[in-house]
Structure 1
Amino acid sequence: MKNQWDKDVQNDRIVGYLPNLNNIEVNRIMKLMEQDSPGKFIIYTLSKYKDILLNLGFSLESKLSGFFHGDEALIFTKYHQKDRLLSKTAKENKEVLSIVKGDTKEPCEMTHGFQIELVKDVELEELARLFQTVFPIYPTNIFDPDYLQKVKDSEEYMFMVAKDDNGIIGAASAMNTGYQSAEITDCAVHPDYRGKNLLNAIVMAIEKELVKKRIYHSFSLTRAKSVGMNMTVKRLNYRYEGTLINNCIISTGFEDMNIWTKKLKG
């Protein structure tokens, strides 16, 4: 398995996906900590490398089942800024999880009259407008149709949309990690169409496409203070595995993100 790095300037973080934590990568980590001092340093790796990262001053923040070709990823973090380490919504996060975990409902069927399908190239400008309507700020450049075209063409992302006679009114994507796992992300429903269980249908359609591509592990990072999104993935049988503190910029600034995972049936 290959190692990957992402220097995410917009979210003031460096992320390393390191299934092979060798001496070269350990030296790289030490240099990056000295040179860049990002607000948050994140390493995804295997459990056998736990002691190496603890000795480098990292802390185990969460885990993610199935991330590395079916093997669990441990997520280690190190903060260079004290305020980035402290959750602004810790109490609210716990209340949301309590509500969500106490829910016993199954996913509701979507109201009829909507079409769920993979987005077409000619629809990317319309998709960007939906994202602009739903999100005031976002950690990736999904407001730009050219960016959407670029990631779609790379096959790194797969965009699924819900449509009616008015056009695209809901969407979500799957980001291929390169490790036979995928992140369900970019979940958006137009305000006029909420409460119709569109996201349930969109995510289930994405899962079917992932299985066709022989990807059997999916996960979602949901805003920790959002009852709606956490409830959506919980009802779709995703399992909560931890919270990433001040992980990325969404809506009001840096926010905590909950990790939910699922093993897909082939």
Structure 2
Amino acid sequence: MEMKNQWDEDTRNDRLVAYLPVINKQSLERLEKCINKGNVGKMIIYTISEEESKLKKLGFTHEADMSGFFQGQSAKIYSFFPKETRKLSRTEKKNREVLQIVENNQSAPKAQWSNITFKSVEQSEVKKLAELYKRVFEVYPTDIFNPEYIKKAINTDYIFVLALENGSIIGAASAMKTGYGSAEITDCAVDPDARGKNILHGIILELEKQLINEGIFQVFSITRAISVGMNMTIKRLSYTFEGTLINNCIISTGYEDMNIWTKSLQK
């Protein structure tokens, strides 16, 4: 199946993100134009290994890989920083410390889900889901504080799964289908009063089950590099670390570095 190029001019996060399984003449011209303008902080390109040399010639640097992203073929993630300040990580040392903690931890999570239900979100629950996200995040890269945004997402490329306890939403996450036979586990949130029960573990397992039912077998997660909890959760679910994206998007404290984790759902 032919894979189409996709472009996302993400003004919220001052970046251009492009998925380019084929880098043709028009693509190169568009990238050069963006570099010369210098009006975005970061350019992030997902491509395949056969196309890497074209990005290197433009001055892009390899930041991470993403196994199976393009219909089972690995994506190479290249970045260019028109704004020099965007290139400098504020948390490089902390990032390394978090990865060390996560890699050294061999303990399995203890599921505490006896009174918790995991289920797909319904339209009637969208407003309360948006309220959960407001409680958990001060700032977020997408518009998940807006119920209308969530409704639109559900009707397009997203699956949202909730964790319910006594009828209240205490956790949520989504799977965003990329259009390339892969999906991103994202929008992960747990109510501060419900933490410590490994709720996200259960939510992600339910998302994976639903993706398998839809014929999607390659998943990935882009986690905050400074978050021990989130990286630990993903690692315990057998995801593999494949690199760090510097100052990738805005979450809570401003631009943050994000880790790439991938997993195949095929037995």
Scaled by the length of structure 2, the TM-score of the pair is: 0.97
**1:73 maps to what in 2?**
75
Structure 1 segments of 4+ aligned residues over 3 angstroms from their partners: none
**Aligned ranges 1:1-266 → 2 under 5 Å:** 1-35=3-37, 37-154=39-156, 156-265=157-266
CA drift at 1:36: 5.3
| Equivalent residues of 1:110, 1:201 under 8 A apart | no
CA drift at 1:166: 4.4
Name the CA distance, whole Å, in 2 between partners of 1:4 and 1:111.
40
Counterpart code for 1:26:
L
Name the CA distance, whole Å, in 1 between partners of 2:231 and 2:202.
16
CA drift at 1:197: 1.0
| Equivalent residues of 2:38, 2:83 under 8 A apart | no
Could you give the per-residue CA deviations for residues 100-137 of structure 1, whole angstroms, max 9, x where no partner exists?
Answer: 00011223323310110000000000000000000000
Counterpart code for 1:15:
V
Secondary structure, in 3 states, of the residue corresponding to 1:10?
helix
Name the CA distance, whole Å, in 2 between partners of 1:181 and 1:108.
29
Identity in percent: 51
Name the CA distance, whole Å, in 2 between partners of 1:147 and 1:172.
15
Question: Which segments of 5 or more consecutive residues in structure 2 lack a partner in the other structure?
Answer: none
Name the CA distance, whole Å, in 2 between partners of 1:176 and 1:230.
21
Q: CA RMSD in A?
A: 1.0
| Equivalent residues of 2:175, 2:207 under 8 A apart | yes
| Equivalent residues of 1:170, 1:199 under 8 A apart | yes
Name the CA distance, whole Å, in 2 between partners of 1:57 and 1:139.
26
Name the CA distance, whole Å, in 1 between partners of 2:241 and 2:204.
17
Scaled by the length of structure 1, the TM-score of the pair is: 0.98
| Equivalent residues of 2:239, 2:263 under 8 A apart | yes
Name the CA distance, whole Å, in 2 between partners of 1:76 and 1:96.
23
Question: Which segments of 5 or more consecutive residues in structure 1 lack a partner in the other structure?
Answer: none
